[in-house]
Amino acid sequence: MPSMNLVLLISFLLFSIGVAGVLIRRNVLIILMCAELMLNAANLNLIAFARHSGTVAGQAFALMVMGLAAAEVAVGLAIVVALYRKKNSISVDEINLLKG
């Protein structure tokens, strides 16, 4: 059984890689994947704390986060496909419909 510190450290590093990916990439698909990675890092924390406290609440909510992430991917990818039809590109630089 690993120690709690190791779990927290790895989860935090995964989260920061996700944040860095959202900040530096231009491709909408990869930004979505980085968001998924951040949700997964949070899930790892939830499960670790569930194990630590000996209750099941953390795991139950991690399962719900997973379902929510699946819903998010479905809607996000549909938006990406619609966007590609409209702008013929999926680079975030080209998406400026709300720009004044």
Partner 1 sequence: MENLLLKIGQNLFLIFGLMALGGAAVMVAAKNAVHSVMGFLLAMLAMAGCYLCIGAEFMGVAQLLVYAGGIVVLFLFVVMLVELSKAKEKGVFQRQTPFALVLAGAGVVGFVGVFWKTIFGTSAQEALTLAPGLVTQGEKLGNAQMLSRGLFAEYLLPFEILSVILLVALVGAVVLAKTERV
| Using rule CB under 8 A, residue 95 touches partner 1 | no
Give the binding-site size for partner 1 (rule: CB under 8 A).
74
| 93 lies in the binding site for partner 1 (CB under 8 A) | yes
Contacts of 46 (CB under 8 A, 6+ apart): 58, 59, 61, 62, 65
The token duo for 83 is 């966007």
Nearest to 27 by CA among 70, 75, 74, 76: 76
Site string for partner 1, 15-44 (x = CB under 8 A): -xxxxxx-xxxxx-xx-xxx-xx--x--xx
Interacting residue with partner 1 among 68, 95, 96, 97 (CB under 8 A): 68
